[in-house]
């Protein structure tokens, strides 16, 4: 029997007997960890091992590790990484140095993740930075230029792949110009289809061969004014699968975010009906997860094919002398600023 089409979070630093039994019965395809689940490398390594043991297979364990404001593993046990915009600033002066820095940074980050049993990263952000948009994206984006975002996003994917980590590009088909933070309310984008095609969609189209992508809980008035991308058949089928041409694993953003309405079972069913392959629920709240699991089908068909393809990106990391690499990364920034 195949796993359920969902990725779930846990509540704390270790699994208790009730959580372990729940995950065994729910049988999610993967797991995700957050800051509340992280204390130190030894503890995190034990937690990721226990999560896999709960479902009896080598499931992917995800994390949001972008650098900057969104970094679940941080000091004192892990290096604080720079936000994407810092690499975009280098690109304005020296594009090759920026590409090298992004790839090296993400290779190093991937190695840190693999050391503690994390093998999928919800990164890079492929948003086009828009100063008029809500600051929830801001410096998480590489640049206001779609071409630069695509170029540096490609380098990030190469770095994560070199470290043996499955990358999840986000938030498809673009959150940069949204007027609100989808964690708190439902954002809208009023731009025309033509504008979206040439800006917001462009980096995703350039990297449409990525292993996985995360949807945006955003309404695009020109495409579907009635539903956010996550639950919109028009956006998923016509834009993500059609105009962008993405045939990788499509997972929702967190179903517990306030941009979405309705029961958790309804949210799950609506996202699957729209064409999402995988449901993401992050906060570890059991009552909410019960609803998500109730609405999550067993993987089959194209969703199973895409999930298996994504798993194939979890490879043996390429060797890297981390101390030398960290020094080289620091030098790339120093030389670019000179």
Annotation marks residue 253 as catalytic: yes
Encoding tokens for residue 324? 């030398």
Helix axes of 95-115 and 146-162: crossing angle, nearest 10 degrees: 40
Q: How many CB atoms lie within 10 A of CB 192?
A: 10
SS3 assignment, position 249: strand
Distance CA 254, CA 212 (A): 15
Distance CA 97, CA 254 (A): 34
Length of the chain: 338
Annotation marks residue 335 as catalytic: no
- Residue 85's nearest CA partner among 140, 134, 4, 156 is 140
Query: Which residue among the candidates 64, 100, 253, 270 is catalytic per the annotation?
Result: 253
267 close to 255: Cβ distance less than 8 angstroms: yes
SS3 assignment, position 12: coil
HSE, CB side, 13 Å, CA atoms: give it for residue 15.
Answer: 24
Distance CA 73, CA 332 (A): 23
Please report which helix (H) or strand (E) contains residue 331, including its range: helix 322-337
Q: How many CB atoms lie within 10 A of CB 198?
A: 11
Query: Which residue among the candidates 25, 58, 147, 183 is catalytic per the annotation?
Result: 183
Q: Residue 219: beta bridge partners?
A: 188
Cα–Cα distances (Å) from 14 to 35, 42, 45, 141, 292, in that order, read: 13, 12, 10, 33, 22
HSE, CB side, 13 Å, CA atoms: give it for residue 20.
Answer: 12
Encoding tokens for residue 231? 């639950």
Distance CA 169, CA 197 (A): 17
Give the residue numbers annotated as catalytic, written as ranges. 183, 253
């Amino acid at each position: 029997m195949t796993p359920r089409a969902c990725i779930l979070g846990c509540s704390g630093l270790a699994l208790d007997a009730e959580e372990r039994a729940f995950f065994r019965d729910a049988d999610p395809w993967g797991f995700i960890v957050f800051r509340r689940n992280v204390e130190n490398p030894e503890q995190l390594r034990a937690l990721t091992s226990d999560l896999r043991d709960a479902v009896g297979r080598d499931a992917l364990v995800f994390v949001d590790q972008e650098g900057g404001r969104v970094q679940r593993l941080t000091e004192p046990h892990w290096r604080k990484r720079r936000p994407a915009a810092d690499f975009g600033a280098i690109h304005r002066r020296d594009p090759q140095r920026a590409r090298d820095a992004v790839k090296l940074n993400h290779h190093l980050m991937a190695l840190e993740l693999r050391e503690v049993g994390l093998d999928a990263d919800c990164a890079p952000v492929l948003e086009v930075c828009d100063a008029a948009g809500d600051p929830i994206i801001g410096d998480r984006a590489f640049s206001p230029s779609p071409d630069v975002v695509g170029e540096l996003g490609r380098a990030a994917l190469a770095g994560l792949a070199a470290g043996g980590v499955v990358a999840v590009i986000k938030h498809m088909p673009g959150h940069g110009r949204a007027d609100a933070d989808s964690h708190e309310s439902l954002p809208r984008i009023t731009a025309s289809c033509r504008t979206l095609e040439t800006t917001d969609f462009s980096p995703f189209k350039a990297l449409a061969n990525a292993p996985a992508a995360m949807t945006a809980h955003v309404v695009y008035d020109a495409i579907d004014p009635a539903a956010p991308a996550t639950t919109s058949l028009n956006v998923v089928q016509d834009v993500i699968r059609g105009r962008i041409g993405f045939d990788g694993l499509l997972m929702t953003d967190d179903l517990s975010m306030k941009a979405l309405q309705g029961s958790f079972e309804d949210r799950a069913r609506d996202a699957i009906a729209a064409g999402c392959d995988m449901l993401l629920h992050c906060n570890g709240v059991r009552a909410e997860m019960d609803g998500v699991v109730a609405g999550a089908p067993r993987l089959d068909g194209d969703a199973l094919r895409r999930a298996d393809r994504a798993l194939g990106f979890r490879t043996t990391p390429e060797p890297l002398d981390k101390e030398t690499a960290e020094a080289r990364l620091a030098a790339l920034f120093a030389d670019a600023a000179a």
